[in-house]
Chains A and B, each alone.
Chain A
Amino acid sequence: MSKKSYRQAINEALAQEMRRDPTVIVMGEDNAGGMGAPGEDDAWGGVLGVTKGLMPEFGRERVLDTPISESAFIGAAVGAAATGLRPVAELMFVDFLGVCFDQIFNQAGKFKYMFGGKAVTPLVVRTMYGAGFRAASQHSQCLYPIFTHIPGLKVVIPSSPYEAKGLLIQSIRDDDPVIFLEHKVLYDDEEEVPDEPYTIPFGEANLTREGEDVTIVAFGRMVKFANEVADKLEKDGISCTVVDPRTTSPLDTDTILESVEETGRLVVVDEANPRCNMATDISALVAQEAFGALKAPIKMVTPPHTPVPFAPQLEDLYIPSPEKIEAAVRAVAGA
């Protein structure tokens, strides 16, 4: 056990699974870096260094750099998964989904059903998401609601280094296609992470705080903000439960509903744009299944219905902030 960053936790999960299972391979743009170039090998280890060191240990046969052709290599990962490998393909930024979505949602996501249950596609697509990097509209989105909408895909959103390692190992061992979303702003966050391999099951929400007054459901980086708000409000006498669902598909609806039954108040924090996102999904769930328990209207804290802006002042306004979450919690708590 030692402190590890979100980046190190992901790297360690990949390395440990590659050691354990020779069918695990990784592929993506510049996953090693420097392919065919005159300078250093393993020059990048991924654009933000997450896969650094894998190529020297496992070789080019298992750490494949790709041309910039997401359609082809994400599709190749799907085909490899359907024929006996366990590929972990990196879609550098989730915003690039637009050029390869077919291979994910029409192929990987549907093989099992279309082929009468006879296909197994143990694919992992790792992808970076989220605002806060001043990366503007095409490198900052939170597109997990789109994946969540597709039956056949599993969608994983780790909120911390411990979560990232255990959920990624589970993703790699899982026999269904998994989309694993890494928030780029979390890569340098650190916490205690076991050295040994471990798994965190899908569809089991984590309660990162337990309180009696308000339930906050949050995803990814927003869990961190929700925890900050819960800790601050605890001192002011408002005690919050923070639910980190960990996976949006499967979604642990039981834990969300049980918590709302206890607190009677719900704030959903979602960094995805507000139409048809997880906040609306969970709000609808609670309105349908736990309406009688509600003591106040549900509040959703989301960005506005705009692309992610570039200017730092605008981007800061765009992202759901701890201040906005706090205001929402105070509003539902009537305090």
Chain B
Amino acid sequence: MQLNRDDLLKAYRDMRTIRAFEDRVHDEFAKGGIPGFVHLYAGEEASGVGVCMNLDDRDKIASTHRGHGHCIAKGCDAKAMMKEIYGKRDGLCGGKGGSMHIADLSRGMMGANGIVGGGPPLICGAALTAKTLKTGGVAVAFVGDGGSNQGTTLESYNLARVWNLPVIFVVEDNGYAESTASAWSVGGSQKKRAEAFGMPGLEVDGHDFFAVNEAARQAVEWARGGDGPSLIHVRLDRHYGHFEGDAMTYRADGEVEKLRAERDALNIFRAKVVQAHLLESSQLDAIDAEVAAIIDEAVAEAEDASPPGEVDLLTDVYVSY
């Protein structure tokens, strides 16, 4: 897919929205405004957006603990997401899911998942639906390097292959499963694992939107064309800890500062498009300002929104009972 200027503007806007959203959640969490656990996607924006730019309304994604970025990349409403993370009644899931279960099926976003490795089997099912009903849709399972070691994920590789499903497994390897290094916890390589199951494995630099976008374009083409599943191993970094409150004592001194300075996906994107005269700096600055305003509004609205009431405790368990 040749990206036009509108595509590039959208890519930047989505990445910037994720970054601003996550940076702000980080700040508000520290202030005590947000309950529970949150796991932030800042630093990984090029992956979610690079992949989802290739998807449309027919397509489904399943996410991880670190799901806010995938939500935004798949078109979920950032304000409704913020309300959900605050546990408010008008949140994307009525305040019943929160950060770890944030979802919007109407956008093809089948949920962040509190269970590591929970998504790949589900995405095989979404792909089976697309194949059975001949919708032309594809399904993408985002998995972390931690999730890549779960049996569910490896079983799903096999199932997707033997059923020849239109699935793309995107392994987002940010170097750490919780506090444990992927260099230690992953045996073999993600690419060779894919090849061992009879599907192509691609390796890309996850700081480079264009690299991810091109790999995903290829994988989506295979899936839509009936060639079945493939895997993309995306190497990237997270700017924050595993969860908010993680002191990150397992990371090297200066590690985060260095990657923020040298390997920031938004900076890399900006430099490329400006140098190539595809977009003007001023256009990107304008987006930054618009996004900042939206996130300010999102937080203000979320803080003001009503929590669910006692009546909401008992609803939405069953369709009928």
Contact = CB atoms under 8 A, between A and B. Distances in A.
Q: Do chains A and B touch in the complex (CB under 8 A)?
A: yes
Contact of A72 (B113, B114, B124): B124
Given A76-B128, A116-B94, A82 B121 contact: no
Interface string B142-171: 000000000110011011001100000000
A36 to B, nearest CB: 9
Interface string A215-244: 000000000000000000000000000000
A112 B60 contact: no
B105 A75 contact: no
Interface in A72-100: 72-85, 87, 99
Nearest to A62: B132
B317 interface: yes
Contacts of A73: 121, 124, 159
B106 interface: yes
Interface string A89-121: 000000000010011001100111111111110
B103 interface: yes
A152 B309 CA distance: 20
| A23, A78, A116 pick with most chain B CB within 10 angstroms | A116
Contact of B121 (A71, A174, A176): A71
Interface residues of A, number: 48
B114 A79 contact: no
A64 interface: yes
Contacts of A102: 115, 118, 152
Contact of B129 (A62, A84, A99): A84
A203 interface: yes
Q: Which of B105, B156, B163, B319 has the most CB of A within 10 A?
A: B319
Contact of A114 (B111, B124, B139): B111
Nearest to A203: B321
Contact of B118 (A69, A107, A120): A107
B77 to A, nearest CB: 13
Contact of A67 (B60, B95, B162): B162
A175 interface: yes
A118 B155 contact: no
A117 B315 contact: yes
B57 to A, nearest CB: 13
B211 interface: no
A79 B105 contact: no
Interface in A110-157: 110-120, 151-152, 154
A103 B156 CA distance: 12
Nearest to B151: A71
A78 B122 contact: yes
A132 B130 CA distance: 41
Given A79-B121, A114-B103, A116-B97, A176 B152 contact: no
Contacts of B163: 64
Contacts of B111: 111, 114-115
A25 interface: yes
B132 A25 contact: yes
A87 B125 contact: yes
A60 to B, nearest CB: 10
Contact of A83 (B60, B91, B118, B120): B60
A120 B125 contact: no
B317 A151 contact: yes
Contact of B125 (A61, A75, A152, A154): A75
A82 B105 CA distance: 9
B101 A115 contact: yes
Contact of B105 (A62, A119, A154): A119
B1 interface: no
Nearest to A250: B321
B320 interface: yes
A102 B156 CA distance: 14
Contacts of B97: 114-116
B92 interface: yes
B133 A23 contact: yes
Contacts of A72: 120-121, 124, 152, 155-156, 158-159
Contact of A117 (B110, B124, B159, B316): B316
A152 B317 contact: yes
B25 interface: no
Contacts of A283: none
Contacts of B110: 79, 82-83
A255 interface: no
A233 to B, nearest CB: 35
B103 A119 contact: yes
Contacts of B217: none
Interface string B46-62: 00000000000000101
A75 B122 CA distance: 5
A175 B319 contact: yes
23 contacts: A69-B159, A71-B121, A73-B159, A75-B120, A76-B128, A76-B156, A78-B121, A78-B125, A79-B125, A81-B125, A82-B105, A82-B122, A83-B130, A85-B125, A85-B128, A103-B118, A106-B118, A107-B115, A111-B111, A114-B97, A116-B95, A118-B103, A176-B321
Q: Which 5 A-B pairs have the closest CB atoms?
A: A75-B121, A79-B125, A116-B94, A79-B122, A117-B316
Interface of A: 23, 25, 61-62, 64, 66-67, 69, 71-85, 87, 99, 102-103, 106-107, 110-120, 151-152, 154, 174-176, 203, 250
